[in-house]
Amino acid sequence: MHSKSIVIHAPHDLRVESAEVAPPAAGEVQIRMAAGGICGSDLHYYHNGGFGTIKLREPMVLGHEVAGHVAALGEGVTGVEVGQLVAVSPSRPCNRCKFCLEGAQNQCLNMRFYGSAMPFPHIQGAFREVLNVDPAQCAPATGLTPGEAAMAEPLAVCLHATRRAGNLVGKSVLVTGCGPIGILSILCARRAGADFIVATDLSDFTLEMARQVGADVTINMGAETDGLAQFTPDKGTFDVLYECSGAAPALAAGIHAMRPGGTIMQLGLGGDMSLPMQAITAKELSLKGSFRFHEEFHTGVSLMQKGLIDVKPLITHTVGIDEAVAGFDLAGDRSRAMKAQISFA
């Protein structure tokens, strides 16, 4: 069987290529892909050939936010059925290293996360028409559209951060950066009990999306550079900061609006940033990183199925696999795109 894939060769050299796909081996599930979301890391590979010290060293299939229908089952597979829609988790830990055995699979020493140039040879991604996966990666998504199911991955990222943030009931939350991760963080924080949520960004389009999903206040920091000043008196306002931009100015402004004892959740990956350590120390702030997810993937699918988190407004554009280049160009346009997805159907 032949399957098309979306392959990055170098910056702005994205190709749709065809390759032979084997039948599922024993213990494997074959997925006929339906939808895949273009992520910020995919865009880094597309525009820059990598990010930070991670550089593309060989052609690599992109993509890790995917969902599709079960096409075939390898010998011995149970728990999923042919024809069933499933969200496919890109998290493939070894379950043998010390971190996996401690229950921290997101820190696996031998992680095979789809579409990653961290190791060499690279871990090929999931933007393929047909893909063989492990049954444990499949979260049944009955009742969702393929596009919604493909949002399970970024939602899981935000659920993991929300878990690390601790109790949010009645808390005041600041979200800096309103791309898909920022918008999903608003949804997760509200679902976890946050009372007051403020969102900042540099784009009116993304801030309007933040308002639509329930942010109480939105601030365009480009037009209103001191927009957070109203929240800085009396040692600050916010209990939790979701920093989703990866930009040092956003982090610094957010820290000055935090109240003593608050928690900074750093999700944005923009490279190393300088920190206002004096303010962090004097306010006794906790600085926490949040990296990927594991069991939260299935939780995210369940919450969407129950109607407790609605991701449909985030999916602003869908293009066919043969329009992949146009889709990638569109996905990076913060003036009109939130989440652009590839349709493999």
Note the pLDDT tens digit of each residue in 265-301: 999 877 678 889 999 999 999 999 999 999 999 999 9
Predicted pLDDT of residue 131: 97
Domains of the chain and CATH, by start: 2-151+311-343 (3.90.180.10), 158-289 (3.40.50.720)
Q: From 343, 11, 340, 67, select the one nearest 179 (Cα to Cα).
A: 340
Q: What DSSP character marks residue 290?
A: -
pLDDT digits (tens, 9 = 90+) for 135-162: 999 999 999 999 999 999 999 999 999 9
Average pLDDT over every residue of 246-251: 92
- Token digits of residue 67: 């969902």
Examine the pLDDT at 51 and tell me if it is beyond 90: no
Predicted pLDDT of residue 345: 82
Taking the C-alpha atoms of residue 55 and residue 176, their distance in angstroms, rounded to an integer, is 27
- HSE of 93 in the Cβ direction (CA atoms, 13 Å)? 19
- Token digits of residue 123: 């871990």
Taking the C-alpha atoms of residue 165 and residue 171, their distance in angstroms, rounded to an integer, is 11
List beta partners, residue 15: 7
pLDDT digits (tens, 9 = 90+) for 192-227: 999 999 999 999 999 999 999 999 999 999 999 999
Examine the pLDDT at 163 and tell me if it is beyond 90: yes
Structural Rg of the chain based on CA atoms: 20
Examine the pLDDT at 53 and tell me if it is beyond 90: no
Examine the pLDDT at 39 and tell me if it is beyond 90: yes
Predicted pLDDT of residue 269: 79
Predicted pLDDT of residue 52: 80
Predicted pLDDT of residue 56: 96
- HSE of 230 in the Cβ direction (CA atoms, 13 Å)? 9
Predicted pLDDT of residue 1: 78
| Helix locations, the chain, DSSP H | 40-48, 98-101, 146-149, 152-165, 180-191, 204-212, 248-256, 277-282, 296-305, 324-331
Query: What is the rounded average pLDDT for all residues in the chain?
Result: 96
Nearest 5°: the CA angle 59, 100, 269 is 50
Characterize the bridge pairing of strands 172-176 and 238-243: parallel
Taking the C-alpha atoms of residue 141 and residue 297, their distance in angstroms, rounded to an integer, is 11
Stretch (H or E) spanning 103? none
Examine the pLDDT at 104 and tell me if it is beyond 80: yes
Average pLDDT over every residue of 126-134: 97
